[in-house]
Chains A and B, each alone.
Chain A
Amino acid sequence: MERGRKLRIGFPRALFYYSYFPFWQGFFNRLGMEVVVSPPTTKGILDDGTREAEAEACIPVKLYHGHVLALKDKVDLLFIPRLVRIDRRSTFCPKFLGLPDMVRASLPDLPPILDLKVDERTSPGEWWPTCRAIGELLGIDSFLRLWSAYREGKQHQKAYEKLLYKGYLPEEALAALRGEEVEVPPRIKENLNLAVLGYPYQVYDGYISWDIIGKLRKMPINLWTMEMVPPSKLYRFCKHLPKQPFWHYSVLVLGAAYYYQQQGVDGVIHVAAFACGPDAMVNKIMEIDLSQGSNPTPFMSLSVDEQTGDAGVATRLEAFVDMLLQRRRKG
């Protein structure tokens, strides 16, 4: 690397990007490095990923491969941590666990990968052990420098989460953090309250979700998502299940379903990821639990793929919202 140029770290815009990007951006920037994010998903990126990744993998993981490809020639290092556990209550989906291995085995000529393991059970302290390891790998031996970078990351993350809890969606919150003018539609009392639940990397990626969020924003509804509730609360709402579900994002989705059911929303949409193993189970559990009990909540599961088409998604959303409106008028 030539002198004076900043080290460029590649951060694919997929999977945990929507959950933890602010932390890592803050952290790396403070260390004097540049974080390069892949561009928003396009057809080309998805096609690249689909071509190179294991055929049976879910769309979000294939997409991740595509984003890695989009980045690989523009960066000095790729940041692909192996997320195993970020808290004591859940484990990530097996595909997160094997992510660096899958990427490395299926994509040739990659820059070096920072594939550190994040496991709260074996090395507690949330991101801190990972930050330490990164410091070691990149030759940063000043503890203070590392610590202040870590603190900075935490601050960014906190600010981000605060915006989320206020009702910003991840993309909006990220834009607001960058200092852009963002307008979040106010909640209106007459509107329908609709909870849209799903893994953030499926729901907020405009391309693979056929812009569900954008479409819903145009309708007379108040949008609720799982990011608007602190995870610790969501965990509590899963407590009554006979067996604790263990995949990180799935617990949050399920918890959010029970939480919003209790809050009395008018309807719940579950945006299932295509070819996702955990969702096959989560979706069924949610469907049964929401339709039973004292206050059944209308529920729609939306599993979208390339064949669904823009019009297909729009029709289904409209039909569901119409149904909710009628239901409200009647009762």
Chain B
Amino acid sequence: MRKVTFPHMGYSHIAFKQLIEDMGFEAITPCHPNRYTLDLGVRYSPEHACIPFKILMGNYIEALERGAEIIITSGGVGPCRAGLYGMTHEKILKSLGYDFRIVVFDPPLVNLWDFYWKLRFMVREARLSWRAFIDVIKRAWDKLKLLDEMEIKAINLRPYEVEKGSTTRAFHQCLQIIDRARTRKEMEEARRECHRILEKVPKDRSRRPLKVGLVGEIYCLLEPFINLEVERTLGELGALACRGVFLTGYTQTDVLGKGNHNVRLLAAPYLNQFVGGHGQNSVGETIFYAKKGFDGVIHVAPFGCLPEIVAKGVLPKISRDLDIPILTLTLDEQTGRAGVQTRLEAFVDLLYQKRRAKEVKGFGTLLPGYRCGLCQH
């Protein structure tokens, strides 16, 4: 059985593991990034590469050590570094002496032919019929959707939890249940089970959590290890963190086609150009949240990230013009958890003060249960 590995991003590995296994390969599931992964990645990556590159590097090396023979990853179109990840990883790993094959799936819209050949290679290797393959893909997709659904639910419930950390515990329980479910029927059961588990967590519904928009680079948004669990920290500080970027959304808009149109229109007065990655989205989403009356926005970006630097260049102006506080978290291998925690606490304090001042002045604030509509919760 060929051993296949893939990048780790958020909780997607649960779905990808299933995909690979259903195709008849042995999945070498990348481990959750940790200090060790990062150190390994940093050692073998160019010094100024962005942090996702380094983490992936660490993950690949670990997987290759565990015997992986094929790496499957996605490429990118844009003028951003992600598009060169595959090739650079390959060159570095090969120069380290690893023997493997890397299959980089670029968006089919860019080069359909190339996409087809790579797909064909995988299907042949798997000895599957196309029909069986499509079924496998569909189930993996359903699983991604399920993962998103639960994550969104957990984010929305966390600010109300009575005991700190209880939602996160319940959510991790859910992840295990989802991981075990394979057939459609099992997945449906898992879905119901997870909802039940999350709803059972004791909550205080009288709270009125702050509404904070999370924008920024996708890998940082989705990978709790890199963002030092921003969402969880915020939730436990009593703030509801909304974000527009989720796994399924990413696959739909970025891997399959072009990005989110409306958000780009919103961004136009400040940044009238797609700059790769999620730079323009960060700007557009910030404006979106500001217009929806959110209390604040947190912008997470890897240190040196090209599109996000452009975004950072214009965000201060947006903050002034639209009167919305923005906190920028720049993440790299040196970012410390304690520092981030303090900054988040200070930011949340500031937002509370601001809200109180507004209430005194008689502006309405968001009602509990208010929905933003960007993520589908």
- Write the residues of chain A forming the contact surface with B, with a CB cutoff of 8 angstroms: 53-54, 56-57, 82, 84, 91-95, 97-98, 101-102, 105-106, 117, 241-243, 245-247, 275-281, 283-285, 288-289, 292
Contacts and interface: CB of A to CB of B under 8 A. Distances in A.
A95 B83 CA distance: 16
Contacts of B270: 101, 105
B348 to A, nearest CB: 24
Contacts of B47: 280
Interface in B211-267: none
Given A101-B273, A105-B316, A246 B75 contact: no
Interface of B: 46-50, 75, 78-81, 83-84, 86-88, 90-92, 95, 104, 270-277, 279, 303-307, 309-310, 312-314, 316-317, 330
Contacts of B95: 288, 292
B76 to A, nearest CB: 10
B79 A285 contact: no
The winner among A53, A84, A101, A246 for most chain B CB atoms within 10 A is A101
Nearest to B95: A288
B314 A277 contact: no
B218 to A, nearest CB: 15
Contacts of B307: 94
Contact of A57 (B80, B88, B309): B309
B125 to A, nearest CB: 19
A97 B271 CA distance: 9
Given A56-B309, A101-B310, A284 B92 contact: yes
B273 A97 contact: yes
Contact of A97 (B79, B90, B312, B316): B79
A288 B91 CA distance: 7
A105 B317 contact: yes
B84 A281 contact: yes
Given A94-B306, A97-B275, A56 B88 contact: no
Nearest to A90: B79
A106 B312 CA distance: 10
Nearest to A243: B87
B114 to A, nearest CB: 10
B94 to A, nearest CB: 8
B314 A102 contact: yes
A280 B46 contact: yes
A280 to B, nearest CB: 4
The winner among B81, B88, B91, B306 for most chain A CB atoms within 10 A is B306
B46 A284 contact: yes
